[in-house]
A and B are shown apart, each in its own frame.
Chain A
Amino acid sequence: MATKVFDRDTLLDLTVNFIPLFILLFFLVGYFVYNPFKLGSTERILQYMLLATPFVLLAILTYLSGKAIASTEKSSPVYMPGAATVDGAEPIEDEHEE
Chain B
Amino acid sequence: MQITGQLTLTVLMGLFLVIIAAWLARIEDWRSYTPLGSGGAAGESGYVSQEKPTGISRWLTTVDHKDIGMLYGAYGVLAFVVGGLMIMVMRVELLDPGMTLISNSFYNSLLTSHGITMLFLFGTPIIAAFANYLVPLLIGADDMAFPRINAIAFWLLPPGALLIWAGFFPLGDIIPAQTAWTLYTPLSTGAGGGNQANAGVDLMILGLHLTGVSATMGSINFIATIITERAEEVTWANLDIFSWTILTQSGLILFAFPLLGSALLMLLLDRNLGTSFFAIEAGGTMLWQHLFWFFGHPEVYILVLPPMGIVSYVLPRFAGRRLFGFKFVVYSTLAIGVLSFGVWAHHMFATGMDPRLRASFMAVSMAIAIPSAVKTFNWITTLWNGKVRLTTPMLFCVGFVSNFILGGVTGVFLASIPVDLVLHDTYYVVGHFHYVVMGAIAFAGFAGLYYWFPMFTGRMYQRRLGKIHFWTWMIGSNITFLAMIVLGYGGMPRRYATYLPKFATFHQLATLGALLMFVGGLVWTYNFVVSWLEGPKVQDGDPWNLRDDGMYTNEWQWFEDRQETAITDGGDEDVVTDGGTEE
Binding site for B on A (CB under 8 A): 13-14, 16-17, 19-20, 23-24, 27, 31, 35, 37, 43-44, 46-48, 50-51, 53-54, 57-58, 61-62, 65-66, 68-70, 72-73, 76-87, 89, 97
Contacts and interface: CB of A to CB of B under 8 A. Distances in A.
B interface SS class = helix
16 contacts: A17-B334, A24-B363, A44-B356, A46-B360, A47-B359, A54-B339, A65-B236, A66-B331, A69-B330, A76-B235, A76-B237, A81-B239, A82-B241, A85-B140, A85-B231, A86-B552
Nearest to A73: B237
A82 B364 contact: no
B231, B356, B364, B554 — most chain A CB neighbours (10 Å):
B356
B234 A84 contact: yes
A13 B356 contact: no
B473 interface: no
B360 A27 contact: yes
B573 interface: no
Given A13-B331, A16-B370, A78-B238, 19 more contacts: A16-B328, A16-B374, A17-B331, A43-B357, A47-B359, A51-B363, A58-B335, A62-B331, A65-B334, A76-B235, A76-B237, A81-B240, A81-B322, A82-B138, A82-B554, A83-B238, A85-B231, A85-B557, A86-B552
B290 to A, nearest CB: 12
B487 to A, nearest CB: 32
Contacts of B240: 81-82
A96 B448 CA distance: 27
Contacts, number: 151
B423 interface: no
Nearest to A58: B338
A51 B328 CA distance: 23
A37 B355 CA distance: 9
Interface string B337-372: 111011000000000001111011101101110110
Contact of A13 (B328, B338, B339, B360): B328
B155 interface: no
A24 B233 CA distance: 38
Interface of B: 138, 140, 231, 233-242, 313, 322-328, 330-332, 334-335, 337-339, 341-342, 354-357, 359-361, 363-364, 366-368, 370-371, 374, 550-555, 557
Contacts of A13: 327-328, 331
Contact of B554 (A27, A54, A61, A86): A86
Contacts of A61: 334-335, 337-338
Contacts of B341: 54
Contact of A23 (B327, B332, B366): B366
Contacts of A19: 370
B356 A47 contact: yes
B238 A80 contact: yes
Contacts of A80: 238, 322, 550-551, 553
Nearest to A56: B338
Contacts of B371: 16-17, 20
Contacts of A14: 331
Given A81-B238, A86-B557, A20 B363 contact: no
B338 A57 contact: yes
Given A20-B368, A23-B366, A50 B235 contact: no
Contacts of B370: 16, 19-20, 23
A17 B356 contact: no
B313 to A, nearest CB: 7
Contacts of A70: 237
A84 B342 CA distance: 36
Contacts of A54: 338-339, 341-342, 364, 367
A41 to B, nearest CB: 8
B361 A81 contact: no
Question: Of residues B235, B239, B550, which shows the largest number of chain A Cβ atoms within 10 Å of its Cβ?
Answer: B235
A84 B550 CA distance: 13
Contacts of B359: 27, 31, 47
Given A65-B331, A73-B237, A82 B313 contact: yes
> Which one of A17, A20, A72 has the highest number of Cβ atoms from chain B below 10 Å of its Cβ?
A20
B356 A51 contact: no
Contact of A82 (B337, B361, B553): B553
